[in-house]
Structure 1
Amino acid sequence: MPTESRRERAREERRTLILRTARDLAESEGWDAVTTRRLADAVDYSQPVLYGHFKNMDAIADAIALEGIEELAAVLQAADGLHGLARAYLGYAETHPAAYEAMFTRRTDLVFGTAESPSVLKAAFAAIRAAVEPFADAENAETLTEVFWSALHGQATLTRGRRLRPTHAQARADALTALITNASW
């Protein structure tokens, strides 16, 4: 009979396989292609096994969102300055569109901006805030951080939807960072 730790390892391996497969499907074909039936077939487990790990597809997307936010936080923490952070953020969004969608555009049960928010969400926001803080007074640093983040998100989302000129991505990032660095906050 397998030991408890072996069972837990096997369970964690199944969970990891489910998430990796769902993310791969979403990245290659979009979130509409990720269904429990298709996912069960791809991982060679039954749908009840999937439901043993995740309540529904939203829970799978939320888990992928948390993974993506953890990756993004690491990328942002390694960025050099405000301009580097803007490039890193937009680069992540472009390179990982389905993860980015799970993180910031799909419906989610994740709670942002509260004391109850998962620590990884706080870490990503803190990385953005650390880059913005030198350009804001203490009273307005969080608001300016939200403005900067939302502007980056807008650029990422509109670029992904092909609503912005692709040849001007760098100029947009430069303009945004110039606005923040010249802010009188």
Structure 2
Amino acid sequence: MGISERKARERDERERRIVVTARAIAEREGWAAVTIRRLADEIEYSQPVLYSHFQNRDEIVGAVALEGFGELAELLGDARRPASTPAEQAQDVACTYLDFAFERPALYDAMFVLPTGLRFARSDTPAQLRATFGAMLAVIAPFADEATAETETETFWAALHGLAQLERHGRIRPAFRAIRLALLVEMISGGGH
């Protein structure tokens, strides 16, 4: 391995350590506790070293969010059981999405609430975001016209996000989550398609 390859590997390892540490702090204490100074102290790098990897905290949050989208895309893909009906697949994906939001609140906030600079629905949208959207599109497409499938998927995603946020913040009753999901899937699958 040459010097430049070793330096690149070390840089990648430092960047990875920054992201892992930011995520760990956020999961323990919330995103307000994640600052450049705190990260520098935790991983024993100088602040200029952190700034050589990320321009600001938003970029670190964005890197954590990208990880989250990769994880979510994989979970949503795994949720689709091939032998189940399209409505059951939509139900399984919806449940998996909400489980993800509740089990990983700091990660979910990085992905959907905090500023990240990530661009959705653009030509330069990262692959992880595209994969997450694709996993949702796969369960909505059977009920949608080709011309509106992406818009219907965005609506499904928006509904799930709204349900997640409202329940996470105590605005709706958790005991009725399954009923709400069944109603959502019924609206999507039985909406005249």
**TM-score, structure 2 length as denominator?**
0.91
**How far is 1:132 from its partner?**
0.5
Residue 141 (str. 1) matches residue 153 (str. 2): no
Alignment correspondent of 2:60: 60
- The one-letter code sitting in structure 1 at the alignment partner of 2:175 is T
Distance in 2 separating the partners of 1:137 and 1:171 = 26
Equivalent residue number for residue 71 of structure 2: 71
In the alignment, which residue of structure 2 is the partner of 1:182?
190
Task: Structure 2: state its 5+ residue gaps.
Answer: 81-88
State the distance in 1 between where 2:71 and 2:146 align: 28
Describe how 1:111-130 pairs up with structure 2 within 5 A. Answer: 111-130=119-138
> Which letter does structure 1 place at the counterpart of 2:3?
T
**Structure 2 CA distance for aligned equivalents of residues 172 and 27 of structure 1:** 28
C-alpha displacement at 1:15, in angstroms? 0.8
Query: Matches of 1:98 and 1:119 in 2, distance apart?
Result: 21
The answer to whether the 8 A contact 1:136-1:183 is kept is no
Moved more, 113-122 or 83-92: 113-122
Are positions 1:46 and 2:46 aligned together? yes
For the residues of structure 2 that align with 1:99 and 1:153, how far apart are their CA atoms? 14
Q: CA deviation at 1:8?
A: 1.7
- Secondary structure in 1 aligned to 2:114? coil
| 1:121 partner amino acid | L
Which of residues 80, 85, 91 in structure 1 aligns to 2:93?
85
Identity among equivalent positions (%) equals: 47
Q: CA deviation at 1:146?
A: 0.9
Amino acid across the alignment from 1:119: A
C-alpha separation between the residues in 2 aligned to 1:169 and 1:82? 15
Tell me which stretches of 4 or more aligned residues in structure 1 moved more than 6 Å. Answer: none
Query: Over the residues paired in the alignment, what is the CA RMSD in angstroms?
Result: 1.3
Count of residues paired in the alignment: 184
State the 1:44 CA deviation. 1.0
Alignment-derived partner of residue 83 in structure 2:
none
- Residue 151 of structure 1 and its aligned partner are, at CA, apart by 0.2
CA distance in 1, matches of 2:8, 2:22: 21
Question: Partners of 1:27 and 1:160 in 2: how far apart?
Answer: 15
CA displacement 1:61-94 (0-9 Å, x = unmatched)? 0111111111111111111210110011111111
* One-letter code aligned to 1:168: F
- Structure 1, gaps ≥5 residues long: none
